[in-house]
Chain A
């Protein structure tokens, strides 16, 4: 039963839940185990409850399940919140000396450890979470020594004494359980020689930006995109770049636009409310044909919505947002490693096609950490294509007979030459006003049509030149097709396995390109039933696909603010397959 262990720590916000969870996750990863983490910010009761959950296995894990084996509960609330996930083989670690009387169902093993007292013995009550980690190690047969490296990483900056105290605290927790309990719940966490890295989607996006040569980032803090900025600060400087915390999103996107016109690879990241604020400038970016990467890490909307909750509700905004008609690309990573690769691609598309490119991620991708082998992020495989950015001596080829640079030359493929400041004779004006080839304002009907067509032609060129493919898994001959975008892919992979066990074969297509996007007509025609899975109420992607294929689809929509779980998805898919197609 120990193949796949689910562990969690929960308490009040401010109890150090996140950092403690992360220490354990890192220790597991260092021990060559796969890890998939998730964060809970109160689903049923309002307030400060927060939990960090880890699913770990020697096999790859990429979703959450409704089962909890070991729970470190710093509050009664933690137990109450997770009651339905605990089972007979579960253990709850708690501190009986503290003021609350833990109510733990009889069939669950209660492990009472004086966390606070032991922490004080080790040098300070603040380390009580680490004592709990030591206790958890003992229960799961995991060597506390694996914690050491993670503790060094976390506390190294605070001096060796703090690190040593923490190591001691962990051992006190282990010894207490060893001496006072004779537990055999059957857990024995195996270790391997694999070296894994552990990171979340925001970090992967930031790392992708650095790999792709991003030099300028401007942003305004917003959950769950802030991590991108926090990751870049302190790292981008190594490459001569810079991060600005702007006064608002209006400023952020305009700064990023300015840097891009200066010739830098430039990016901003935000979440829905910030995307709204950026909408006006988004149009300018497209009309002035400025290469820019804009990351939208979606959270629950509309308005301020549920800032710490999952949703995939911004698809329409990113596909259609902004006044007028705006050519753009929208890429949407479906896994954490793709957050890296799609960001790299986004920079190339932005420069090749001189357009804004949205990278659309979601909260579940952004805050979830997952283990990967380092080669997943093979930096040698990163390619940089700056498109039609001219060399100094090429500028003269693009001057009109008066010597003006044709920055918006209406070329056949829609892509114009690009000159950046400092290039001799390349000086030109760019504007959000409709303009001619030189970038000068016009209301001439023919030029207007020519420039609109020219900008749209870039999309046609890209459709023809790039591969807008999808990822496929499950049974490729199955009659039933499930289509998904964003972070649902991991849960779907496991759902497919569960369905296979029940003899319900499905073919799954996970789409990372929302615009341009793959043509799914053939795939739809080959299927009896098509189900589109997404975390929103109205089925925005389902609508788009129905429009593309002129075929009705079934929909699985979740908008509770919580991501899909594998078992839940398996059940819903089965139910949907038994449902009649909705009337036209």
Chain B
């Protein structure tokens, strides 16, 4: 499919029927990602999707693009490698809250500070779905699960604050069922020059009866309707650290974001190499004189 032809978001759909539970938030999250990719002029042949492990990670199977479904927690390093090798390719990573903020938390911090020009979508259902309902790092402290019968008694991770502390240049949050806003926010993340991070509320209808569609619908505050200046770090800190509200929108965008490839001059398509050793390769040997 050439990038000239009109790309529709359904081009990003594979012919595999999702095995997600009916009503799972991941349907909406995925639709928004596909729309955003199409709206930003991408097509499946120039897009690379790196998926995590979990219900959320299955997204790699249901979308159509170049993709890798890796090991648990490591989507970000894989995506980083793809983007460095292929600056010409649109790279997106997606996974769950367990994948991203638990087993992969270290990578999240470092991918954030590296500021590679890619998009990271976390399908945050505040539970482990695929392994059938254990506590996740974003689960509320009193939320009872099979592994935390009396609640974890630990404060949940605030992924937005973690991102901010790691030097993020784009921090946003969206809600899978608010289709238009969700797609819009992902689109902004794609267009951001650097690491575009979006935490998506993507309810698990099977294992989480607290963080439900109704809960988010009732409590969500859209920053678009507030007087929020996303370029104001202090204002961003305010909404990100506000424990009393759930926000939707772009909390923070650094206007001076310099993506990794610009800082390090990583701009070449690394897939192209000569048939033999590079010209002047004997200079490498002569260095050891």
Contacts and interface: CB of A to CB of B under 8 A. Distances in A.
Given A30-B289, A215-B85, A242 B48 contact: no
5 contacts: A210-B284, A215-B268, A284-B71, A427-B47, A429-B60
B122 interface: no
Interface string B267-278: 010110111111
A428 interface: yes
Interface in A310-362: none
B89 A262 contact: yes
Contacts of B45: 421-427
Interface in B29-83: 44-48, 50, 60-61, 64-71, 73-74, 76-83
Interface in B77-99: 77-86, 88-89
A266 B77 CA distance: 14
B1 A425 contact: yes
B226 to A, nearest CB: 35
A421 B60 contact: no
Contacts of B70: 254, 257, 281, 284, 431-432
- Grouping DSSP codes into helix (H, G, I), strand (E, B) and loop, the B interface class, with mixed when no group exceeds half, is mixed
B78 A257 contact: yes
A259 B66 contact: no
B278 A203 contact: no
A251 B110 contact: yes
Interface string A416-441: 00001111111111111100000011
Contact of A211 (B44, B64, B268, B284): B284
A218 interface: yes
Contacts of A377: 282, 284-285
For the complex of A and B, the 5 pairs showing the least CB-CB separation, nearest first, are A258-B81, A263-B271, A262-B85, A213-B273, A240-B268
Contacts of B284: 207, 210-211, 235, 377, 379
Nearest to B2: A424
A195 B286 CA distance: 10
Given A258-B85, A426-B66, A384 B78 contact: no
B86 A379 contact: no
Interface string B152-165: 00000000000000
B64 A255 contact: no
Interface in A221-265: 235, 237-242, 244, 246-248, 250-252, 254-265
A379 B60 CA distance: 42
A440 B16 contact: yes
B15 A261 contact: no
A281 B74 contact: yes
B276 A380 contact: yes
A263 B86 contact: yes
Given A210-B284, A420-B271, A424-B45, A255 B80 contact: yes
B81 A427 contact: no
Given A382-B277, A429-B61, A433-B69, A207 B285 contact: yes
Interface in B183-235: none
A218 B76 CA distance: 14
A280 interface: yes
A578 interface: no
A379 B277 CA distance: 6
Interface of A: 29-30, 195-199, 203, 207, 210-213, 215-216, 218, 235, 237-242, 244, 246-248, 250-252, 254-266, 280-281, 284, 288, 374, 377, 379-380, 382-384, 386, 402, 420-433, 440-441
A251 B104 CA distance: 10
Name the residue in A247, A383, A384 with the highest tally of chain B Cβ atoms < 10 Å from its Cβ: A247
B233 to A, nearest CB: 25
Given A207-B284, A207-B285, A421-B89, A380 B270 contact: no
Contacts of B266: 242
Nearest to A430: B68
Contact of B78 (A212, A247, A258): A258
B65 A427 contact: yes
Contact of B68 (A288, A422, A425): A288
Contacts, number: 220
A382 to B, nearest CB: 4
Nearest to A424: B45
Nearest to A376: B285
B106 interface: yes
Name the residue in B2, B88, B288, B289 with the highest tally of chain A Cβ atoms < 10 Å from its Cβ: B288
Contacts of A211: 277-278, 281, 284
B278 to A, nearest CB: 5
Contacts of A216: 81, 84-85, 270
A241 B45 CA distance: 23
A259 B270 contact: yes
B90 to A, nearest CB: 9
B271 A239 contact: no
B74 A254 contact: yes
Given A242-B264, A424-B2, A430 B69 contact: yes
A431 B68 contact: yes
B66 A258 contact: no
B181 to A, nearest CB: 28
B77 A250 contact: yes
Contacts of B68: 257-258, 261, 288, 429-431
A207 B86 CA distance: 23
Contacts of B110: 246-247, 251
Contacts of A246: 77, 110
Nearest to A153: B289
A215 B271 CA distance: 8
B50 to A, nearest CB: 7
Contact of A384 (B46, B83, B265, B275): B275
Contacts of A432: 69-71
A561 B266 CA distance: 41
Contacts of B73: 250
B208 to A, nearest CB: 25
Given A242-B84, A264-B86, A429-B61, 8 more contacts: A207-B285, A216-B85, A254-B81, A261-B78, A264-B270, A420-B86, A427-B45, A432-B70
Nearest to A377: B285
B107 interface: yes
B192 to A, nearest CB: 20
Contact of B273 (A215, A262, A420): A215
Contacts of B83: 258, 262
A241 B276 contact: no
Contact of A424 (B1, B14, B16, B64): B1
Contacts of B84: 216, 242, 244, 255, 258-259, 262
A401 to B, nearest CB: 13
B61 A422 contact: no
A292 B274 CA distance: 18
A421 B48 contact: yes
Nearest to B62: A429
B276 to A, nearest CB: 5
B74 A251 contact: yes
A255 B2 CA distance: 28
